[in-house]
A and B are shown apart, each in its own frame.
Chain A
Amino acid sequence: QQQVKQSPQSLIVQKGGISIINCAYENTAFDYFPWYQQFPGKGPALLIAIRPDVSEKKEGRFTISFNKSAKQFSLHIMDSQPGDSATYFCASRSYNQGGKLIFGQGTELSVKP
């Protein structure tokens, strides 16, 4: 079964620090790697995404780093804020399976003031 392994399961960071969440995948047919952010009581929402032909994508304080040879990708949150406290999911999609996503296990991030 295709898997995406996400770590850590939970993360506590001080305000202003850097939050780093890692994901590893197995299927080399994956062609799209989104990160979703979920606040309590809400559904996940797309945060940022990357394709495997680039090694890094940055949007504001959020950066995805992608290592195709290692089959790993990570989310970096710079200058973490209490408002970033949420659950984060990485995901991967195979180009030959339509819009189907395989999600990681999730990381619960808490940013302390």
Chain B
Amino acid sequence: DVKVTQSSRYLVKRTGEKVFLECVQDMDHENMFWYRQDPGLGLRLIYFSYDVKMKEKGDIPEGYSVSREKKERFSLILESASTNQTSMYLCASSLLPGESNQPQHFGDGTRLSIL
């Protein structure tokens, strides 16, 4: 079974802090993704990565950055946390699409509160 592990289930930080959210997958997937989930807005893509040291902006990248130094690990960084970044953050991974449709496998999320 594919396992995507997010380092924290709950996190409370203060405005202006630099926040790191970590995600590790154990299935040698090329693709990794960071989403935020808010009621009524669904899942919105923040950043994704096709390979080590490679990143692409998603739909809402402002205020975030990412790091992928190893294939299995994808980090989301809030450079200077703000209260509007209070949300549920979900990490996902998948194989490259290729000829078959590869599903995204999600972690169980980190609920981040910025005070």
Count the B residues whose beta carbon is within 8 Å of the partner chain — how many?
Answer: 29
In the bound assembly, the distance between CA atoms of A109 and B50 in angstroms comes to 34
In the bound assembly, the distance between CA atoms of A37 and B58 in angstroms comes to 22
B106→A99 contact, CB < 8 A: no
Give the residues in chain B near A36, CB-CB below 8 Å: 106
Against B, the Cβ 8 Å flags (1 = close, 0 = not) of A1-34 are 1000010010000000000000000000000101
B59→A1 contact, CB < 8 A: yes
In the bound assembly, the distance between CA atoms of A28 and B43 in angstroms comes to 21
B31→A99 contact, CB < 8 A: yes
A49→B31 contact, CB < 8 A: no
In the bound assembly, the distance between CA atoms of A104 and B41 in angstroms comes to 8
Give the residues in chain B near A102, CB-CB below 8 Å: 45
- Interface stretch, picked from B63-71, B74-82, B95-103, is B95-103
A43→B106 contact, CB < 8 A: yes
Least CB distance from A83 to B in Å reads 19
Q: Is B104 an interface residue (CB 8 A)?
A: yes
B42→A106 contact, CB < 8 A: yes
B31→A98 contact, CB < 8 A: yes
In the bound assembly, the distance between CA atoms of A58 and B92 in angstroms comes to 26
A103→B103 contact, CB < 8 A: no
- A contact set with B: CB distance below 8 Å: 1, 6, 9, 32, 34, 36, 41-46, 49, 51, 89, 93, 95, 98-106
